[in-house]
Structure 1
């Protein structure tokens, strides 16, 4: 059982003992720390916070604990109930709120939940703000409101529809063009809120929807991370129904993956590549992704005359780099699309609409679209951390070993070889070291990953 306290929020497994897991006491403590910070940050004695959650089984419990803790601090709540991460991000500025909290552990299995914390722009808080909240939580430095000054809770259950409307209003989304294409699409909503939000969008775009696991029960029918090994059911359903493609999202709907018409993975790394290809064709400019994302985005960006830049892993880092370099689109290779014309947050609804526009305009199959992009192959592996392991020292020894290569150390260690790369970093959300590699073939990518895993184990044993 695990509790991870980071600058981006608190994430843990439900049950067990306080300060070791995400228990009710931990939920209250960190909600209070966020509320205390927000009052100081906003300069208001009665700020407003938007709260929404995914459908996981612990969601209602954590939701009530967090909301009522903020009420106890004299903070007013706009309660979206079942929602998505990008919907909450849009609702914060939409409601003129001072912050937001999304209750979701994203791609983690059902025993996990988390508090993901937003600022007044509906964007994730930065490192300094996150550190201050951790300090307040550790000190339990809270000042709760008197009885006449308690906050209020206002339910607002229309924001998924508002979100869909905002996507339809984007300049590069033309519903009539998509409607005329006559698409048939299978949607795997992993029994969470994507099973509601994505079909709402597709219905509005005139797309025929075949629903798979779209009831938001929270009983995830498979591992909720949208990776090939978890998606046999939708791959079969696309072929069985003769659909044009399949759409898979994670429980909070900020990651997006596609299945082609043959039942094969389009590749979550290529979600951003395809959406960027469409956007760059209409609005030339720059792109950003993180250090663990495919080189194919760089290639497509340069083909459109733009400049590509890599950021440290983490949405807040990607967003900061996008703003610095005026990127017209960006995101992460895990299927996260960030389109500033909508908002600075990963958004599977926006990504779905952009992808549909690209297919409708080109009039080709999803497999043909993929075949037209530079072909890279990625391996994503991990090593479980053992207690007491000095990960930073271990990665420093790897960096020293490869100091003569093209090396980046702003986020773990990335080694760029002429025909491949490897990125080693400690996860922000799980007690693991992630090992991502990319090469010209799957065998080469897997071999490179296995080589670095062996080197990590060798160095850890000799430490």
Structure 2
């Protein structure tokens, strides 16, 4: 059981002991600390906060705790109810709110939940802002509103519909061509809010939808991270229904992955590659992804005459680099698409509309589209952290060992060899070290990951 405090939010498992898990007391404490920060940041005694949640089982409980705490701090609430992370991100500036909270543990299993914290732009807080909230939570120096100064609640139930319309209004989306193409897709909504939003978007674009796990009960039918090993039912359904492709998202709908018409994974790393290929074909410019993302984005960007830049892992870091380099599109290799013309946040709805637009232009099957991109293969493995393990010292030893190679240390350690790379870093969301590798074949990528896992374990033993 775990409570993790980071730039990715306050994330933990439900139940157990305060301070070690995401208990009701922890939810109240961190919501109170956020209220203090948002009052200071906005200069208002009664700021406005947008709140939405995914469909996980603890969502209603956590929302009640967080929302009523903010009311008790004098904040006015715009309650979107069941929603998606990008929907809340869009709602904050649209409603001229001072901040927002999404209650979701993203790809984590059902026992997890989290508070994802937004500023008045609908973007994630940076490290300095997040640290202020953590410090305030530790001090527990809270002052709640008197009875006449309690906050209020405004319920808006149609914001996912508004979000869909915002996607349809994007100039780059080829609505008429998509409607004329006669697409048929299978959507796996992992029984969360993607099961509402993605089919509705597809139907608005004239796409025939076969719904799989689209009932937002919060009972995830499989591990909710959109990886190949969890998507056997989707792969079979695409073949069974003779669909053009399959779509899957994580519970809060900021990650997106596709399955081709043969039931094979398109590859979550290639979600961003395909969307960038489409956007760069219409608007020249630069791209950004994080250090753990595929080299294929760099290759596609350079093919279109742009420049690729890498950022530290974490959406806020990617967004910062995108603004710095004026990128026309960016995101993360986990299937996260960030399109500034819409907003600076990962958005699966935008990604689906772009992918459909791309297919209408290319006039090829999804498997053929995938084959048209550079062939890289990734391995994504992890090492469970033991309490007290000196992770930073272990990674420093790895760094010293490979000084003759191209090493980047802005986020863990990434070693770029001539035709492959490895990236090792502490997770922001789980008590693990992530080991990502990429090579010319899956066998080489897996072998490279196993090699560095062994090296990490050997160095860890020396530090024990």
Question: TM-score under structure 1 normalisation?
Answer: 1.00
Q: Give ranges in structure 2 of 5+ residues lacking alignment.
A: none
Separation of aligned partners in 1, 2:81 and 2:153: 11
Distance 1:257 1:450 in 2: 25
Q: Secondary structure at the match of 2:16?
A: coil
Secondary structure of residue in 2 paired with 1:120:
coil
**In 1, Cα distance between equivalents of 2:425 and 2:41:** 31
Summarize the alignment of residues 201-216 of structure 1 with structure 2, pairs less than 5 Å apart: 201-216=201-216
Q: How does 1:62-77 map to 2 (within 5 A)?
A: 62-77=62-77
How large is the RMSD of aligned CA atoms in angstroms? 0.4
Match of 1:47 in 2: 47
Verify the 8 A CA contact 1:385 1:433 in the aligned structure 2: yes
Deviations 1:302-328 (A, max 9, x none): 000000000000000000000000000
SS in 2 for 1:26: helix
Aligned to 1:95: 95
Name the counterpart of 2:346: 346
Written as runs of structure 1 = structure 2, the 5 A alignment for 1:281-292 is: 281-292=281-292
CA distance in 2, matches of 1:103, 1:203: 27
Q: Which residue of structure 2 lines up, in the alignment, with residue 272 of structure 1?
A: 272
Measure the CA separation in 2 of the matches of 1:236 and 1:131: 45
Give 1:20's aligned residue: 20
CA distance in 2, matches of 1:326, 1:9: 26
- Measured in 1, the distance between the counterparts of 2:6 and 2:170 equals 34
Q: 2:8 touches 2:429 (CA, 8 Å); kept in 1? A: no
The alpha carbon displacement at 1:28 in A equals: 0.3
CA distance, structure 1, for counterparts of residue 329 and residue 238 of structure 2: 29
Residues 383-432 of structure 1 deviation map (CA, whole Å, 9 limit, x = unaligned): 00001101000000000000110000000000000000000000000000
Q: Is 1:457 aligned to residue 460 of structure 2?
A: no
Residues in 2 aligned to 1:120 and 1:403: alpha-carbon distance in whole angstroms = 42
Q: Is the 8 A contact 2:49 2:98 kept in 1?
A: yes
Give 1:295's aligned residue: 295
* Residue 338 of structure 2 corresponds to residue 323 of structure 1: no
CA distance in 1, matches of 2:47, 2:143: 14
Cα distance per residue 1:242-284 (max 9 Å; x no partner): 0000000000000000000000000000000000000000001
Distance 1:106 1:362 in 2: 32
The 2-side partners of 1:194 and 1:422 are apart by 32
> 2-side partners of 1:210 and 1:285: how far apart?
36
Quick check: 2:185–2:244 contact (8 Å CA) kept in 1? yes
Task: Identify the residue that residue 242 of structure 1 maps to in structure 2.
Answer: 242
Cα drift, residue 7 of structure 1:
3.1
Matches within 5 A, 1:181-220: 181-220=181-220
1:111-122 alignment runs, 5 A limit: 111-122=111-122
| Rounded Cα–Cα distance in structure 2 between residues aligned with 1:236 and 1:7 | 37
Task: Assess if the C-alpha contact under 8 Å between 1:288 and 1:309 holds in 2.
Answer: yes
CA distance in 2, matches of 1:9, 1:170: 30
Structure-2 separation of matches of 1:102 and 1:165: 21
Helix, strand or coil at the partner of 2:11: strand
How many Å apart are 1:9 and its aligned residue? 1.6
1:378 corresponds in structure 2 to 378
Q: Aligned-pair distance for 1:195?
A: 0.2
Q: Which residue of 2 aligns with 1:408?
A: 408
- Measured in 2, the distance between the counterparts of 1:232 and 1:122 equals 35
Aligned residues: 463
Q: Distance in 1 between matches of 2:164 and 2:17?
A: 41
Question: CA contact under 8 A between 1:8 and 1:127: conserved in structure 2?
Answer: no
Aligned to 2:128: 128
**Separation (CA, whole Å) in 2 of partners of 1:361 and 1:303:** 18
Shift of 1:147: 0.4
Partners of 2:12 and 2:195 in 1: how far apart?
24
Partners of 1:243 and 1:342 lie apart in 2 by 29
Unaligned 5+ segments in structure 1 are none
Q: For the residues of structure 2 that align with 1:206 and 1:172, how far apart are their CA atoms?
A: 17
Q: What's the TM-score once normalised by structure 2's chain length? A: 0.99
Secondary structure of the structure 2 residue equivalent to 1:398: helix
Q: d(CA) in 2 for partners of 1:353 and 1:87?
A: 15
Whole-Å separation in 1 of the counterparts to 2:345 and 2:7:
17
Q: Is the 8 A contact 1:313 1:411 kept in 2?
A: yes
Contact 1:7 1:134 in 2 (8 A): no
Matches of 1:9 and 1:386, distance apart in 2 = 22
Matched-pair contact (CA < 8 Å) for 1:8–1:126: no
Structure 1 residue 235, shift from structure 2 partner: 0.1
CA separation in 2, counterparts of 1:223 and 1:64?
26
Map of 1:154 onto structure 2? 154
Secondary structure, in 3 states, of the residue corresponding to 1:282? Answer: coil
